[in-house]
Amino acid sequence: MPQHLPGSTLIFWVFQVIRGYAKTLREGNSRMIPQLQNFLNINADLENTVGTVDLCFGHNDLLSGNFIDDGSRLWLIDWDYAGFNSPLFDLANLASNNEFPEKLEQELLEMYFEQTISAVLWKRYFAMKCASLLREAMWSMVSEIHSTLDFDYVKYTTDNLERFEITFAQFEKL
């Protein structure tokens, strides 16, 4: 992909996106303000766990709705968040957004990295998975304030926070 893009491209760093959402939520007087500092503390811990990354060009929004199967070809649409990132984010985002079982997640990582997954890589991946879920929940919180769409963002926030909390509890046990 990068060979086909002219000029510079963005970097999508989920941890910076979360910090930006926290600022937007404070400025918008979100109902979630009392929880923001905890989210930011977790975000910092997750970022430290991920550590230094290899960059690749990523889609960064691998929701099932962004895949179209026309019967002969699989299309990946909605490249609004595309940019350079760690491959761990797209892998974790794909798995978390589509609720892959753990065995499939491990197989996905082994296929991508072409090796058995170490405990360190698994923990780094899980940190990205938590960040993916927290970002989705915080995106929904921002949408609660700013979106004009007729959609139950409060429920979407609640559902994503629940998934994040379950996944973060698993992460803390690694």
pLDDT of residue 5: 79
Q: pLDDT tens digits, the chain, 174 residues: what are they?
A: 778 878 888 899 999 999 999 999 999 999 999 999 999 999 999 999 999 999 999 999 998 899 999 999 999 999 999 999 999 999 999 999 899 999 999 999 999 999 999 999 999 999 999 999 999 999 999 999 999 999 999 999 999 999 999 999 999 999
pLDDT of residue 8: 83
pLDDT of residue 3: 80
- The radius of gyration of the chain's CA atoms, rounded to the nearest angstrom, is 16
144 in Cβ contact with 153 (< 8 Å):
yes
Q: What is the Cα–Cα distance from 141 to 167, expressed in whole angstroms?
A: 19
Distances (CA, A) of 130 to 18, 21, 29, 31, 68: 12, 16, 25, 22, 26
pLDDT of residue 6: 82
Q: What is the Cα–Cα distance from 41 to 49, expressed in whole angstroms?
A: 13
pLDDT of residue 10: 86
Q: How many CB atoms lie within 10 A of CB 174?
A: 13
Q: What is the Cα–Cα distance from 155 to 126, expressed in whole angstroms?
A: 24
For the chain, which domains are there? 2-173 (3.90.1200.10)
- 151: Cα separation from own chain's centroid: 21
Among all chains, which residue has been given the structure tokens 């957004």?
A: 97
DSSP one-letter string for 138-152: HHHHHHHHH--SSS-
